[in-house]
Amino acid sequence: MAENKISNKKGFHYGWVIVFVGFLSMWFITCIFSSAAGMMVNPVTEEMGISRSAFTMASTACSIAGMIMSTSIGRIFKKYSVKKTMLAGSALYAACYAAYGIAPNIYVFYVIGFISGFAMIMSSMVAISTLLARWFDEKRGLAVALASTGSGVGGVVMNPLIGNLVTSMGWRKTYFVLGAMIAVVMIPAVLFLIKETPQEMGLEPYGKKETKDGAVAEESGYTAAEARLTPMYWLWIPAVLIVSATCNTIMQHTVAYATDMGFDYSVAAGIASVLTAGLAIWKLVMGQLYDSIGSRKAATLSLSVYTLVLVLYAISSKEMAIIYYIGTALFGMGGSFATIAYSVVVQDVFGKKDFATIYGSINVFASVGGAIGSPIVAAVFDTLGTYKPAWIALAVIMFANVILVNMMFKAKDKYEKENA
């Protein structure tokens, strides 16, 4: 019975333990993906004698697999549970990173990257967002922000760590170490700490609303089929695709871009750490803003700053390093959109009723963006010998995205008014 369940916010709520596991997932699943992809560009391409665009195709293969997996992840969660799916995904992801260390050529990299894409969707942000939607009615922005800071905090540690490991033992052994780290941290965390729902522990979600008669309010929202009939769904898709393409590109090419401007590899690794540290800090700030000023204003602010960051990247140089540093420091304010907005906006617009399925279906297009962005930018570099035209083009596209997201929120208001 609802009245026997704890729904107040006094004392410690177990939802914050779920947030902690999310933090670990973002560190040891998502962060390791982006950090390794960026830090391994130079050593792998030099040893294998391949282009940067060829190397980034492994990340594209990962994103394609993620796109495929996202179409069915909601059904998988319902059939097997989020916990079992995360457990299997974490073990598979660890095995993939160990396998990178023995890959004889780039084509094996592509196969491993493809398999790892399934594992990522099973064990990272889609799974965590699904759990947090169940565990939090209030402070959702903060909960998602705290969980997602794992990728930023992890980056501060992982970028220099990977750089030092590559220098001391080579990139192949470094991949083995990363695989071991994933297994040692993620498997016990998921196995012992994840609880599917608050009800499993006799709790209610943090901040659960009650009706006037004291009964717990029913979950509301759209089914996946209903969501696809709304204009909001189809306006949100390109917005997600654009941000994912841009975010993955910057994360994967920061070190390479810095070295091309003349910075030493160790300095470039430090810049990448500043970028990820800033991302962690800005996620906390933006999470609070999503809770306090609402999704529309917070999303608009985030994307506007993202546009500025791309402009700063386009005009930066080693002689004007301060411009590059400012852009790097501000990146997290825009990059936070790729984690916080994806989860919070979907729940705000479509509700909790079929969150996992709707989130998963939209995440398909996030995977598409992740798959196409980095290789296109790498191809621009391979062709022109510079990243600057790519940054300019992305700045223009991101500005258009600010307009697109506001159109989506206006469509939401109009649609709900017409169907009230």
The tens digit of pLDDT for each residue in 155-206 reads 778 888 998 999 999 999 999 999 999 999 999 999 999 999 999 999 999 9
Confidence label for 366 from pLDDT (cuts 50, 70 and 90):
confident
Would you give the DSSP letter of residue 268? H
Q: How confident is the model at residue 210 (pLDDT cuts 50, 70, 90)?
A: low
Find the mean pLDDT for residues 340-351: 90
Token code pair at residue 160: 């220099």
Is pLDDT at 4 greater than 50 in this prediction? no
Terminal C-alpha separation, the chain:
31
Which pLDDT value is given to residue 10?
61
Q: What is the pLDDT of residue 166?
A: 94
Whole-number pLDDT of residue 172: 96
What CA–CA distance (Å, rounded) separates 244 from 254? 15
Higher pLDDT, 10 or 89: 89
Q: How confident is the prediction for the chain on average, in pLDDT?
A: 88
Nearest C-alpha neighbor of 242 from the set 363, 365, 151, 331 = 365
Per the CB < 8 A criterion, the answer to whether 101 and 47 are in contact is no
pLDDT over 60 (residue 216):
no
| The pLDDT value given to residue 271 | 82
Q: What is the mean pLDDT of residues 239-267?
A: 86
pLDDT tens for residues 110-121? 999 999 999 999
Alpha-carbon distance of 100 to 124, in angstroms, equals 20
pLDDT digits (tens, 9 = 90+) for 369-413: 877 888 888 888 888 888 899 999 999 999 999 999 999 999 999
In terms of pLDDT, which residue wins out, 16 or 39? 16
- Give tens-digit pLDDT for 288-324: 899 899 999 999 999 999 999 999 999 988 888 888 8
Which region among 75-89, 320-334, 391-405 has the lowest average model confidence (pLDDT)? Answer: 320-334
- 280/326 Cα distance (integer angstroms): 16
Contacts of 110 (CB under 8 A, 6+ apart): 57, 58, 61
Percent share of the chain, pLDDT over 90: 54
315 compared with 214, residue with greater pLDDT = 315
Q: Is the pLDDT of residue 258 over 80?
A: yes
Walk me through the domains of the chain, giving residue ranges and CATH numbers.
Answer: 11-208+221-418 (1.20.1250.20)
* Euclidean distance between CA atoms 350 and 363, whole angstroms: 14
| Helix, strand, coil share of the chain (percent; to 5) | 80, 0, 15
In this model, does residue 360 exceed pLDDT 60?
A: yes
| Contact between 52 and 257 (Cβ < 8 Å) | no
Residue 352: is its pLDDT beyond 80? yes
